[in-house]
Structure 1
Amino acid sequence: MIALIGSVDPLTSHVAAALGRTGVPPVLCVVGQETSLVAVPPEPLVFRIEHLGTLMRHLSDLEVSTVCFSGKIARPQIDPRAVDPLTAPLVPRLMDALQKGDDGALRTVMHLFEDAGFVVRSVQDIVPDLLPPAGVLTVAQPSPGQEADSARAEEVHRILAEADIGQGLIVRNNQVLAVETAPGTDFMLRSVIGLARGAVFFKAPKRNQDRRADLPVIGPGTVEQAQGSGLAAIVIEARGVMVLERDRSVAAADRAGIVLWVREPRS
């Protein structure tokens, strides 16, 4: 069996449906305020981070051998008073993880699961068609200015990645207008409404990121927000960003006249 750990959102629902079609319905697990491991599928198991060791034991009892981190995973605070006996040995590593950026924190948690005997699989390994082929997917094609802004965005993105900060940014005329940070992509796109007309939204995984978790994802909602912010192009790294509901996303971009470019990264 396989467990999906993260949040119940469109990406997780898509992965769960894909697994269900293979006859292997997953066990859904989400971080919450209280631990409840008696849910009846399709309801998710809920666990506090202070009970992570108990979750692992429960998944083993269910004969879960594989885990996949899917959807947004909130960064919780650890209450030492709530740590249970099975989680106590993990606390030093969990506390260290919470001091790191997203990639560093997720690497630590994945290693904890591996040390407990679980195999970690990526979303794109389970549903490979979420990664679109390289090329321009829309009728609108990138202009020379948008190509230059995409190259500038990639350059800045690689610098930010060294600090484990964000997976996206907005560039216009070679100037960085916004950078994705902890509040996420939606917040960044809302922050530039009225300020970024004609700009390029660039999104890619962090360089050297462990791609088994937190691979970037866009979908129809991303396109709608980009349109609302006045952006002219969405540029994503080939083989590095997943696209939910690809046909709907491309159709929405075509209606808005937005370029959707799956761009090969420069070496």
Structure 2
Amino acid sequence: MSAAPGLAILGAGGRVGSLLRGSGAVRGASWFSRRGGGGAQAWDLLADTRPPQGLRGAGVMICLVGAAPGAELSEDCRLALAAVRAAAAAGIGHVLIASSIAVYGARGAPWREDAALRPRNAYGRAKVHMEAALLDHAARGGPQICLLRLGNVVGADAISAAIAGGQTITLDRCRDGGSPLRSVIGPVTLARVLLALATRAGSGAGLPPVLNLAQPGPVEMAALCAAAGRDFVWRVGAPPPLPLAALDTGALQMLVPVPAADPAALMAEWRAAGGPV
């Protein structure tokens, strides 16, 4: 499908990275992961601070790396800073770094990029810390940074894990009797958007320092289950969840046209990227 010469992608072995590779929507990029394999070059960011040879010649880096399972969440910040330093050493001018919708909090959705950051959990606080460290680092020079606040990636979230594993899907019931609404994005759409943003950055057009990344229109979690052909049960005794966690995608739409989220299309994208649905 699309070629991506001069693009380096870190985190090829993670859940999101694996989906992007499976989507077939990005060809020609150089992929890197901690252990390597499957066409990705092995590179442990924290153990080897020297950029690998395969990184040289790239003009744009996409960093999808995150803390390993069981590691301290503060590792997110160390990994991201290591990626930016490696990009600078390799002469890469632009770095797109995955952050999360979790930085925002509980009120004010759909959130614009200038919304106050009031994360509700340790994961969100770790991402806020990472973002602040990266923006501070960028203010002192080096590659231009764009922080991508991702919504749920279908195929890489908790519901997808339950679907793929054939497990019982458990949802929290909102006060209105429905299931939570969340901003989501399919893996094929994500790959195409990342490629478009990287191409824009590499052309010199530039990107904002922070950008929400999801498909327009939040999706009800029960609708995703229905699209996958799976039943679910309500979690017993759980407090009502946040009914809406949604990103305002107006800034993204000005740069890259993104289709509205549709549960059936999202599941089709997961299937196309190697998912079981």
Which TM-score bucket, shorter chain as reference? Answer: 0.3 to 0.5
Relative to total residues, which structure has the larger helix share, 1 or 2?
1
Structure ID, larger Rg: 1
Name which structure has the greater RCO, CA cutoff 8 Å, separation 6+.
2
Q: TM-score, normalization: structure 1? A: 0.42
